[in-house]
């Protein structure tokens, strides 16, 4: 896969960035498989818990929302890509707000009006959102099309897909209609709390890394690995789409 991508992006496969990325991909593959298996177990446990809840239960849904975001590797990978080259907190706040607006809108509307799609299809698109952001960070669109798509619009649009993925999963849990609006709002608050906690950790790590000379040297490699992670997620979910 990396060989093909190297040719498409116009970089030599012997370039140090690709060599570093190749060494990390097997580890990434095993890590993602483990995360997917663990996340499936978490989701099944949450499903049983949610089905037992009747009426408004704000603390429970705040907790579940925060838990979903913190364990949502696909959301975190996209968020990591979005803020990778954002140095000012003002810009970080703007882009994270656009992402939050997108996923909050489709999650709330999707669940309230019972608008669901195949979860594998939505998760495959979410995997491609990670690929898109990595390519954007590598300047691929400028190189290919001499054109830079709006990063703000892309963040908002992919946020809509991420939120639709959340809505689809919640609907699969057969959430009770009793106290639905209150519980949905509580879940969304939890998602935002989880996102802020994850964002704080990412910013601390990125802040430390950016002060090192190695940041610019390894930035391209990091986005190659991010792109590979997106393709792995896309492939995994696509397989589920056709096999289930």
* Residue-level pLDDT, tens digit, the chain, 244 residues: 545 455 545 554 455 555 555 555 555 555 555 555 444 444 656 777 777 777 888 999 999 899 888 888 889 999 999 999 999 999 999 999 999 999 999 999 999 999 888 888 999 999 999 999 999 999 999 888 888 899 999 999 999 999 998 898 888 888 888 889 999 999 999 999 999 999 999 999 999 999 998 898 889 888 988 998 899 889 888 988 888 7
pLDDT in tens, 128-147: 999 999 999 999 998 888 88
Q: Which two tokens stand for residue 154?
A: 């892309």
pLDDT of residue 131: 95
13-21's contacts with Cβ under 8 Å and 24+ in sequence apart are 16/221, 17/218, 17/220, 17/221, 17/224, 18/221, 18/224, 20/218, 20/221, 21/221, 21/224, 21/225, 21/228
The pTM of this model reads 0.83
| Contact yes or no for 237/127 (Cβ under 8 A) | yes
The 3-class SS string of 180-193 reads HHHHHHHHHHHHHH
Taking the C-alpha atoms of residue 52 and residue 102, their distance in angstroms, rounded to an integer, is 29
| Contact yes or no for 6/138 (Cβ under 8 A) | no
Number of domains, the chain: 1
pLDDT in tens, 222-236: 898 899 889 988 988
- Alpha-carbon 133 to chain mean position: 10
- Give the range of the structural domain holding residue 27, as residue numbers without chain letter: 2-243
Q: Which two tokens stand for residue 134?
A: 């990595």
Tally of CB atoms within 10 A around 162: 27
| Contact yes or no for 38/73 (Cβ under 8 A) | no
Taking the C-alpha atoms of residue 56 and residue 65, their distance in angstroms, rounded to an integer, is 15
pLDDT of residue 41: 41
pLDDT in tens, 36-73: 544 444 465 677 777 777 788 899 999 989 988 888 88
């Amino acid at each position: 896969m990396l060989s093909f991508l190297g040719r498409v992006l116009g970089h030599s496969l012997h370039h140090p960035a690709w060599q570093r990325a190749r060494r990390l991909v097997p580890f990434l593959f095993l890590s993602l498989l483990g995360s997917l298996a663990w996340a499936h177990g978490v989701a099944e446990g949450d499903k049983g818990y949610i089905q037992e809840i009747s009426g408004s239960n704000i603390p429970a849904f705040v907790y579940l929302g925060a838990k979903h975001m913190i364990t949502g590797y696909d959301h975190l990978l996209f968020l990591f890509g979005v803020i990778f080259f954002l140095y000012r907190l003002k810009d970080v706040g703007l882009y994270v707000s656009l992402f939050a607006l997108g996923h909050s809108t489709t999650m709330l509307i999707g669940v309230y009006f019972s608008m669901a799609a195949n979860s594998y299809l939505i998760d495959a698109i979410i995997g491609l959102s990670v690929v898109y952001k990595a390519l954007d960070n590598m300047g691929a669109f400028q190189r290919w099309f001499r054109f830079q798509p709006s990063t703000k619009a892309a963040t908002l649009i992919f946020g809509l897909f991420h939120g639709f993925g959340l809505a689809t999963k919640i609907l699969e849990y057969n959430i009770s209609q009793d106290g639905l609006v209150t519980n949905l709002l509580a879940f969304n608050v939890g998602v935002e709390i989880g996102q802020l906690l994850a964002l704080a950790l990412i910013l601390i790590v990125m802040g430390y890394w950016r002060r090192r000379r190695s940041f610019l040297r390894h930035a391209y490699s990091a986005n190659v690995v991010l792109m590979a992670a997106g393709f792995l997620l896309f492939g995994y979910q696509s397989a589920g789409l056709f096999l289930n």
